[in-house]
Amino acid sequence: MNNSNEYTQTQPILQEPWVKLANGSDLENWSRQDEIAYNQTNRQCQKLAFFMQAFDFLTDNKIEGDYHEYGCHRVRTFRMALTEARRHNLESMKFFAFDSFEGLPAVESQPSHQVWQQGALKTAQEEFWHLIKEHGIYVDSCQTIAGFYKERLTPELQQSFLAKNNKIALACIDCDLYESAVPVFEFIEPLLQEGSLLYIDDLFTGYKGSPVKGVAKAFAEFQQKSRFKFAPHIQVGWWGRSFITYLDD
Ligand SMILES: C[S@@+](CC[C@H](N)C(=O)[O-])C[C@H]1O[C@@H](n2cnc3c(N)ncnc32)[C@H](O)[C@@H]1O
């Protein structure tokens, strides 16, 4: 389940079923709260395992550039990126947090998640900064870009990144909806370089896992237009995957 060495089993279990399984008495009082904590712990462990590998990949392949996150909410993945960047001593990396800080926009694409309503998943900018400062890693290298993507990700903003030659090393796209992902892909295209990693969190989320709906649909459309190709890289849980950006020339 997890490819982090922290979870690698080193002591054999000497009887069937050969893995440690909770039994009826362990789960006698198992509640909905336990279920939520169990899922969250499993999911965040798998995301952290991804970030460990992603930064190792970037460093080993000498991919320089910045971290972009589209969808920051509780700052879980953003803090993972900061921690792993620090572990690789990436002193010159910049960390851009793109979010409305007002939650989801008006929802247009009929997702299967009832909770994905306008305003859901809101974390205000003050709370974002509180969590970043409390975390205490590369705080001065972090920048928020607040607003809904459709209006905020303008050609002028794109141009300001290009003018400073700010390329993407790793982009984490975690904005749930088809209509949110479309402008994100358009925005990042000129900022990508050979070796940029794209982590797409919601490939199989929110539209009954359909590969032709939601963020997966936005990514498929983007691949038709982009000058780059994208090699499937690391599978992250049941929901996401990273891709390596490359040129086929
Ligand atoms: C699933 S949460 C991100 C979780 C986050 N990566 C974490 O680890 O805590 C989705 C986020 O995307 C943002 N978002 C979704 N669509 C957006 C849009 N069109 N414009 C701006 N922000 C958007 C929401 O505000 C929310 O913070």
Name beta bridge partners: 130: none
- The protein residue whose alpha carbon is closest to atom 20 in ligand 1 is 148
User: Tokens standing for 235?
Assistant: 């599978």
Q: What is the pLDDT of residue 1?
A: 43
CA distances from 230 to 66, 124, 222, 225, 248 (A): 18, 33, 10, 12, 10
Please give the number of the atom of ligand 1 that sits closest to the Cα of 74.
9
Asked if residue 142 belongs to a domain, the reply is: yes
Asked if residue 12 belongs to a domain, the reply is: no
Q: How far is the CA of 20 from the centre of ligand 1 (A)?
A: 36
Q: In total, how many domains does the chain have? A: 1
Asked if residue 6 belongs to a domain, the reply is: no
pLDDT tens-digit map of 15-60: 999 998 999 999 999 999 999 999 999 999 999 999 999 999 999 9
Q: What is the pLDDT of residue 9?
A: 62
Please give the number of the atom of ligand 1 that sits closest to the Cα of 73.
27
Distance of alpha carbon 202 from alpha carbon 70, whole angstroms: 12
DSSP letter at 13? Answer: P
Asked if residue 36 belongs to a domain, the reply is: no
Asked if residue 10 belongs to a domain, the reply is: no
Q: How far is the CA of 167 from the centre of ligand 1 (A)?
A: 22
Asked if residue 103 belongs to a domain, the reply is: yes
Asked if residue 161 belongs to a domain, the reply is: yes
Asked if residue 195 belongs to a domain, the reply is: yes
Q: What is the pLDDT of residue 13?
A: 87
CATH number at 138 reads 3.40.50.150
Give, for all 249 residues of the chain, the pLDDT tens digit. Answer: 444 445 566 788 889 999 989 999 999 999 999 999 999 999 999 999 999 999 999 999 999 999 999 999 999 999 999 999 999 999 999 999 999 999 999 999 999 998 999 999 999 999 999 999 999 999 999 999 999 999 999 999 999 999 999 999 999 999 999 999 999 999 999 999 999 999 999 999 999 999 999 999 999 999 999 999 999 999 999 999 999 999 998
Q: What is the pTM of this model?
A: 0.94
State the residue range of the domain holding 115. 46-246
- Pocket lining for ligand 1, CB < 6 angstroms: 71-77, 99-100, 103-105, 121, 123, 148-149, 174-177, 180
Please give the number of the atom of ligand 1 that sits closest to the Cα of 148.
20
Q: What is the pLDDT of residue 7?
A: 53
- The protein residue whose alpha carbon is closest to atom 9 in ligand 1 is 74
- The protein residue whose alpha carbon is closest to atom 27 in ligand 1 is 73
Q: How far is the CA of 104 from the centre of ligand 1 (A)?
A: 7
Q: Could you please report the per-residue DSSP string of 24-83?
A: TTTTTT--HHHHHHHHHHHHHHHHHHHHHHHHHHHHHTT---EEEEE--TTSHHHHHHHH
